[in-house]
């Protein structure tokens, strides 16, 4: 049925929908676990930066990340604008975490 | 150095930061590719729903997805509220895609 433009029967449509949903559920579980690991890494970075008195934000690193993710997205046929929005969404959460670490750690940059 | 509370030297801090950043870059590449595949699946779902005249939104499915992702996040020590915000962020993009498919496909639900 992939690529078909005809109207599927209700049973065909339900079966096809269920198959896609199982794939989406597997992908979502992978995404959640990758995000959990990413926050473990950025948590460690936040603690390191606080101990080493390094500034929490690094605009040059962020610019390199954005450029790289846009390229990866383009190659994977994902909208590069969406990839950039996604990274911004994640980084907002990371900065929120870092600020709360900095608030707890003596000598950390504000 | 993990778990240390002493102040690292600048070289130590730079080396540790670089190691974390390599992990973060690998994770981000994985996230982008999983997201690309997720949108391939939801694109197919959007086209299927349009052909089969099924409604674009499915609040019961979304409620099940939220509950499941919150559980997975909890098990992976990721903030369940963040996991829910993340899913909402993705679903907003999916609905934007579906609306544009529905707009192009005769007979699709609005």
- pLDDT, position B5: 63
The whole-model pTM stands at 0.85
pLDDT under 50 in chain A at which residues? 1, 105-110
- pLDDT, position A110: 33
pLDDT under 50 in chain B at which residues? 1, 105-110
**DSSP of B4-70:** --SPPPHHHHHHHHHHHHHHHHHHHHHHHHHHHHHHHHHHHHHHHHHHTT--S--HHHHHHHHHHHH
| Residue A63 touches chain B, beta carbons under 8 Å | no
- pLDDT, position B31: 98
B32 to A78: CB separation less than 8 angstroms, yes or no: yes
ipTM: 0.85
Beta carbons within 8 Å of A19's beta carbon, 6+ residues apart: none
Of A13, A24, A34, the CB nearest to B30: A34
């Amino acid at each position: 049925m992939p690529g078909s433009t005809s109207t599927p029967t209700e049973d065909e449509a339900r079966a096809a929908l269920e198959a896609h949903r199982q794939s989406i559920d597997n992908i979502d579980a992978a995404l959640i676990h990758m995000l959990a690991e990413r926050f473990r890494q950025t948590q460690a970075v936040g603690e390191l930066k606080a101990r080493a008195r390094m500034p929490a934000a690094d605009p040059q690193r962020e610019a390199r990340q954005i450029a790289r993710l846009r390229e990866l997205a383009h190659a994977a046929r994902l909208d590069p604008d969406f990839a950039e929005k996604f990274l911004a969404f994640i980084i907002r959460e990371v900065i929120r975490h870092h600020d709360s670490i900095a608030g707890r750690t003596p000598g950390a940059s504000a």
